[in-house]
Structure 1
Amino acid sequence: MVEPAAPGYLVARAVRMAFLARGTGPRHLTFLPGNLCTVHSWSEVLRRLPEPEYRCLAVDYLVGSDRPWGGWTVSGIADLTRDVLDTSGVSRTVLVGHSAGGLAALLFALRFPERLAGLVVVASGARMTGHRTFDGLAEALSRPEVPQGFLERALTGMWSVPPPVEVLVRDLGLLGAVRERMRDVLLSCADYDLRGQLGSLSVPTLVCQAELDRGRPLAHGQELAEGIPGAQLVRFDTGHMIPLEDPAGLAHALRVFVGTDAWDEETDQREKR
């Protein structure tokens, strides 16, 4: 039986942060969930990364943690990720971000490129213009009272197939109490258009984009892959929730990417010290 990721807490620059961790291997990966997602969206991906080879940390910045120094914003999440790495004693990592977590990962790569052995952007983009569901999500989350049934419809709409009942019930229970945090993260995404800065990224990059995403069009992933020098694009036959709809496919893409591009012998030796 494959053991699940283990929950835990750490304190990074006086901010208490929840996480899931799995593995003790030399290759370190850090995972950021999307907005309207929980850290458990990464559980099945982590389970498919062999423990002897990988050391994985999924950061729960939204539900189980204190307010980041930069607030519940993609900028604050990027800086919080640096603090988590510092506290964990990790010099370099492969950073994997989904949706809003992908935008935070892009900001991290622009600010702290020396901390990255690789960058993986999942169902995200460099801008919010052209995002087909952003306006409706922002309007509903900004109301004094969220419309009845809105969160369930929003979560269901991010899948290309009906989500498993147990996953939907779990996420509704966790996310129902953090509406203002989700609103702040979502609205902060509109502050950024990183297209003009993509060419300055020199980190090995993998872009994973969904063919059936109702929010983020495939063109946003293509734009990232074309704008970041040397970036690879992998398409998934899923909706927005790639980590939940196709965890095996995403884990395979990560294993190939980390094994061939993001890590070399020098990196492995550095992480073993």
Structure 2
Amino acid sequence: MPQLEVDGAALTYDDEGPRDGGGAPLVFVHGWTANRHRWDHQTAHFSASRRVIRLDLRGHGDSTGAGVPTIRHLADDVLALLDHLEVERFVLIGHSMGGMIAQTIALAHPERVERMVLVNSIGRMAYNRGRGLLMAASTLVPYKLFVATNIQRAFAPGHPREEIRACVRSSADTPREVVMTLYGAMRAFDVLDRAGEIRTPTLMIHGYHDVQLPVRQMLRMAKAYPDATVRILDAGHELPVEKPAELTAAVDAFVTVPSAAGTAS
């Protein structure tokens, strides 16, 4: 597993697929408490024909590093990796917190982002009462119980329990300090008022049953985007796990159709 040292962290990443042809590289960014293996289905599909890059964010998966106070710090990590790999222009696919990272990059460097896919993500954090109470109780309950409760809520009713338990185990391996620091970073994240500046062709794909980041919040963001396509699937917050084949098909259809607007500006 290759790693890159960036600002006190060792970022583990995968760089697969052909370097020539097939379009701009696809860059997959996972969400809070997850890791790069959330994208296993998509990586297996796309790496047969085009370059695919995915990483474990600092403090997650096989990467080291402490939590950081802003989403911008994580965006800088992703850009540092892409600069190291000499990737100038790319397609960004981000899930949840990864979508926040993607939007941050698209705003700062629109010339580098050819297309963007936001999976169960939003432009401004707004928690309902239940989520707020859960986060407030995070300091009062054992960490693994807090993680298990959070992850279980992320899935639509009826999802296989073994898959949920596997996600719980994976998320519980993320250090508490990283999880709680990045919770603060997500809570402070707000680019909704700048959404109109993101002219990158964007697919917003969301789970109808998402209670973590409700679909109505995504739709509010979508209205502000100049070039957005919206897809809603019968799933919860964990689309890469709940509906991997459908997610892959939606991304494939989006990234392989030439943009009517040409390149991002």
Q: Which moved more, 1:146-155 or 1:192-201?
A: 146-155
1:230 aligns with 2:227: yes
1:110 aligns with 2:107: yes
Report the Cα offset of residue 186 of structure 1. Answer: 1.3
8 Å CA contact 2:34–2:171 kept in 1: the answer is: no
8 Å CA contact 1:10–1:18 kept in 2: the answer is: yes
| Partner-residue secondary structure (3-state), 2:46 | coil
Distance 1:183 1:14 in 2: 19
The one of 83, 90, 95 aligned to 1:93: 90
Distance 1:167 1:252 in 2: 23
* Alignment: residue pair count: 258
- Identify if the C-alpha distance between structure 1 residues 23 and 259 changes in structure 2 by more than 3 Å, giving closer, same or farther: same
1:67 aligns with 2:65: yes
Identity of counterpart residues, as a percentage? 25
Distance 2:257 2:229 in 1: 12
Report the Cα offset of residue 224 of structure 1. Answer: 2.2
Partner of 2:150: 154
Partner of 1:38: 35
Q: Which moved more, 1:107-116 or 1:146-155?
A: 146-155
Give the gaps of 5 or more residues in structure 2: none
| Partner-residue secondary structure (3-state), 1:240 | coil
Instruction: Report the TM-score, using the length of structure 1 for normalisation.
Output: 0.84
1:51 aligns with 2:70: no
8 Å CA contact 1:17–1:60 kept in 2: the answer is: yes
Counterpart code for 1:135: G
What RMSD, in angstroms, separates the aligned Cα atoms of the two structures?
A: 2.7
Distance 1:47 1:261 in 2: 23
- Identify if the C-alpha distance between structure 1 residues 266 and 199 changes in structure 2 by more than 3 Å, giving closer, same or farther: closer
The one of 2, 7, 11 aligned to 2:5: 11
Instruction: Report the TM-score, using the length of structure 2 for normalisation.
Output: 0.86
- Identify if the C-alpha distance between structure 1 residues 131 and 21 changes in structure 2 by more than 3 Å, giving closer, same or farther: farther
* Equivalences for residues 16-27 of structure 1 within 5 A: 16-25=10-19, 26=21, 27=24
Partner of 1:271: none
| Partner-residue secondary structure (3-state), 1:253 | helix
Partner of 1:185: 182
8 Å CA contact 2:147–2:168 kept in 1: the answer is: no
Q: Which moved more, 1:237-246 or 1:147-156?
A: 147-156
| Partner-residue secondary structure (3-state), 2:256 | helix
Give the gaps of 5 or more residues in structure 1: 1-6, 268-273
Q: Which moved more, 1:70-79 or 1:203-212?
A: 70-79
Distance 2:128 2:43 in 1: 28
